[in-house]
Amino acid sequence: MNFVNCYEDVSRAGAYSTLEFANTYYLAYRDLPAILAEHVTGTTALDFGCGTGRSTRFLRKLGFNVTGVDISEDMLRIARATDPSGDYRLVPGDNFSELPAGAFDLVLSAFTFDNIPGAMKASIFRGLRTLLAPQGTIVSIVSSPEIYTHEWASFTTKDFPENAKARSGDVVRIIVTDHQDPRPVEDIVCTPESYRAIYREAGLEVARMLKPLAKGDEPYAWVNETSIAPWVIYVLKRTP
Ligand SMILES: C[S@@+](CC[C@H](N)C(=O)[O-])C[C@H]1O[C@@H](n2cnc3c(N)ncnc32)[C@H](O)[C@@H]1O
């Protein structure tokens, strides 16, 4: 598949760096403090696909000692400038030999796997598994297939009716309306069934799966968020 990571782009990186935790993104991060308190022991964390550092700074504020890694230097440059005391590193994408094996209590990937083609997903999760401390946890936040076929506070997909025909592994398009870059992002849609097969293949088991919905009393102009979950959050442990 000829898939290009759209985050290797200076103006996309600049636009992405303005996103915080509002609107639809609020639902991706809202439950993380409780999830981490329940499932993670220890404070050493890897933020896999840290982008411009939003997810890394979130973990740092919760008290984690975080290494942020990404394949996009354009994204990392902004992460470092925004958070000069943070640890942000460029990685090849599927080779973790520069990172310490068995060292991380938590590996977070927030939206990273939306941009990784299907064939590479299992081998990357297998690599992340080797980085986990013995009781370590992976928290994988991904887009639900429904995000690509509905309208949202932070996104529009109405210009891409072909998304409805996409099968797991296909490229889909979505526009982020919360920032200034109107170009569509190209993602790879992946169903929960496919993710479960990928986790199994990578030697990981799903300890918990959440589909966060808005309650309706938040200060955001929800579109479908009170009835359809835009994200899926997986809590993963090594298969015994
Ligand atoms: C949508 S951004 C999310 C950034 C951040 N986690 C956040 O919540 O704001 C996804 C990031 O994953 C990165 N990425 C994609 N494939 C990757 C890979 N194989 N290894 C590391 N990073 C990757 C992209 O470059 C991009 O910066």
Question: Which of 25, 71, 108 is the pocket-test mutation for ligand 1 (most atoms within 8 Å of CB)?
Answer: 71
Question: Whose alpha carbon is nearest atom 18 of ligand 1?
Answer: 93
- Which 8-state DSSP code applies to residue 1? -
Give SS3 for 30.
coil
Q: Ligand 1 centroid to 177 CA: how many Å?
A: 19
Ligand 1 mean position, distance from CA 16 (Å): 11
- Rounded distance between C-alpha atoms, residue 168 and residue 157, angstroms: 17
Read off the pLDDT band of 8 (50, 70, 90).
confident
Res. 19: pLDDT tops 90 = no
Confidence category of residue 16, pLDDT binned at 50, 70, 90: confident
The ligand 1 site (C-beta within 6 Å) comprises 5, 7, 48-51, 54-55, 69-72, 75, 91, 93-94, 110-112, 115-116, 124
The Å distance, Cα 125 to ligand 1 centre, comes to: 14
Read off the pTM.
0.96
> How far does the centroid of ligand 1 lie from the alpha carbon of residue 28, in Å?
15
3-state secondary structure 112-168: HHHHCCHHHHHHHHHHHHHHEEEEEEEEEEEECHHHHHCCCCCEECCCCHHHHHCCC
Q: Please state the length of the chain.
A: 240
First-to-final CA distance of the chain:
34
pLDDT at 3 over 70: no
b/e 101-123 (16+ beta carbons within 10 angstroms → b):
eeebbbbbbbbbbbbbebeebbe
Instruction: Give the model confidence (pLDDT) of 160-182 as tens digits.
Output: 999 999 999 999 999 999 988 88
Residue 217 Cα to ligand 1 middle (Å): 31
Rounded CA-CA distance 29/26 in Å is: 5
How many CA atoms, within 13 angstroms, populate the side-chain half-sphere of residue 49?
20
Question: In a 3-state reduction of DSSP, which class is residue 63?
Answer: coil
pLDDT value of residue 4: 73
Which atom, in ligand 1's list, is nearest to the CA of 16?
A: 9
CA distances from 180 to 13, 18, 183 (A): 11, 9, 9
CA dihedral over 146, 149, 153, 154, signed as positive or negative: positive
pLDDT tens digits, residue range 178-205? 988 889 999 999 999 999 999 999 999 9
State the CB neighbour count (10 A cutoff) for residue 62.
16
- How close is the Cα of 225 to the center of ligand 1, in Å? 23
